[in-house]
Amino acid sequence: MKTAKRVLALAVFFSIFFALFSLCDRILSRKEVEGWWNVTAKIDGFYNSPKNEYDVIFFGSSNTYCSFNPLVIWKETGVKSYVFATQQQPLWATYYYMKDAFKRQNPDVAVLDVLMASKNDEYYDDGVNYTFCDNMPFSFDKIALARVSAPKGRRLGLLIRFLKYHSRWNELKKEDFEYRKRDMSDYSKGFYVLTSKCNNAEHTDLKNVEDSLPLSDKNREYLDKIIALCKENDVRLMLLKAPSNSTEEEKRYYNSVAKIAEENGLEFVDYNMCYDEIGLDMATDFFDERHLNIFGAEKFTEYFVKTTEYFKDRECSDNDWQGDYERYVKERDKK
């Protein structure tokens, strides 16, 4: 009898402890739910999407979420898509994002911008790691992602947000208390609606850069894993580089990606070579030197749809998406 009471008391204690811990973790965790950089709403919005909602999912870093506009794609073709990307998302994070995405969605196509294949870091700083880990639900895959994303001593904070945000008490705002993950959505489907214009962006002619640089061992390992994962799930993988005013060094890495794509029967397109065809204006179509704004993204998205065989006309009859598209048009036309 005493043993049963002791077990019950422990069960009640731990239930209360975990409930309070979860509450503190939710309140204290960093949240970006409003404005241009609402990454929390965008990632949570993907996880809250209806099952098997998307035909196409875009993966990668900031060049992905600044370049592909799912609402324009839907309006042009009826194809539903989402941008499931985070800043400086390394290929190992992309691999685990794809694994998580394929558990919830059954897309025809996965599109990967390969900017991060040109970077050779073994690990990235905490800010980058927190961005792709914070809103990912806890799972064995998240544990595996933490292990490959940081050295020992920095991994636990990627899994338990309270460890890194426990000192935010004096920064708390109303949104911290009102936040509910299950209520989050993003009308622009992961696309960043950036309306500012950069007037000093420069584009380098890379047509004569034909040699290549080998990918780092870690990048090659995870690019191979991404290719295998898409094949296992019968998802068509498109490798590409969105317009980003690439450097000559980056182009050499992209040339290596092109060779890897060819070896695996995949397509690779570097859209930095297509500015004239896309109609990009350096004075009006970039948010900063390396990222398209809303106007450049619309031009690029329309060109991408027009020149990619997969996209074909379908009926655009989803009222929810129509409302989101109209909201986007209002935001675009304000400037």
Q: Residues 158-198: pLDDT tens digits? A: 787 655 555 555 666 766 556 677 878 899 999 999 999 98
The CATH number of residue 133's host domain is 3.40.50.1110
Please check whether residue 7 lies inside any domain of the structure. Answer: no
Single-letter residue type at 221: E
Which residue range(s) make up the domain with 118? 33-333
Please check whether residue 60 lies inside any domain of the structure. Answer: yes
Q: Reply yes or no on whether the pLDDT at 73 is more than 70.
A: yes
What average pLDDT does range 120-126 have in this prediction? 92
Q: What is the pLDDT of residue 24?
A: 47
Q: What token pair was written down for 149?
A: 């994303």
Please check whether residue 255 lies inside any domain of the structure. Answer: yes
pTM value surpassing 0.85 = yes
Q: What is the pLDDT of residue 315?
A: 66
Q: What token pair was written down for 41?
A: 């709403």
Q: What token pair was written down for 200?
A: 């000093």
State how many domains the chain has: 1
Q: What is the pLDDT of residue 159?
A: 82
Q: Reply yes or no on whether the pLDDT at 71 is more than 90.
A: yes
Q: Reply yes or no on whether the pLDDT at 5 is more than 90.
A: no
Q: What is the pLDDT of residue 155?
A: 87
For the chain, the average pLDDT equals 87
Q: Reply yes or no on whether the pLDDT at 330 is more than 60.
A: yes
Distance CA 284, CA 146 (A): 39
Please check whether residue 9 lies inside any domain of the structure. Answer: no
Q: What does the H/E/C string look like for the chain? A: CHHHHHHHHHHHHHHHHHHHHHHHHHHHCCCCCCCCCCHHHHHHHHHCCCCCCCCEEEEECHHHHCCCCHHHHHHHHCCCEEEEECCCCCHHHHHHHHHHHHHHCCCCEEEEECHHHHCCCCCCCHHHHHHHHCCCCCCHHHHHHHHHHCCCCCCHHHHCCHHHHCCHHHHCCHHHHHCCHHHCCCCCCCCCCCCCCCCCCCCCCCCCCCCCCCCCHHHHHHHHHHHHHHHHCCCEEEEEECCCCCCHHHHHHHHHHHHHHHHCCCEEEEHHHCHHHHCCCCCCCEEECCEECHHHHHHHHHHHHHHCCCCCCCCCCCHHHHHHHHHHHHHHHCC
Q: Reply yes or no on whether the pLDDT at 33 is more than 60.
A: no
Please check whether residue 317 lies inside any domain of the structure. Answer: yes
Please check whether residue 50 lies inside any domain of the structure. Answer: yes
Q: Residues 272-301: pLDDT tens digits? A: 999 999 999 999 999 999 999 999 999 999
Q: What is the pLDDT of residue 28?
A: 47
- pLDDT category of residue 45 using cuts at 50, 70 and 90: very high
Contact 219, 257 (CB under 8 A): no
Please check whether residue 272 lies inside any domain of the structure. Answer: yes
Please check whether residue 27 lies inside any domain of the structure. Answer: no
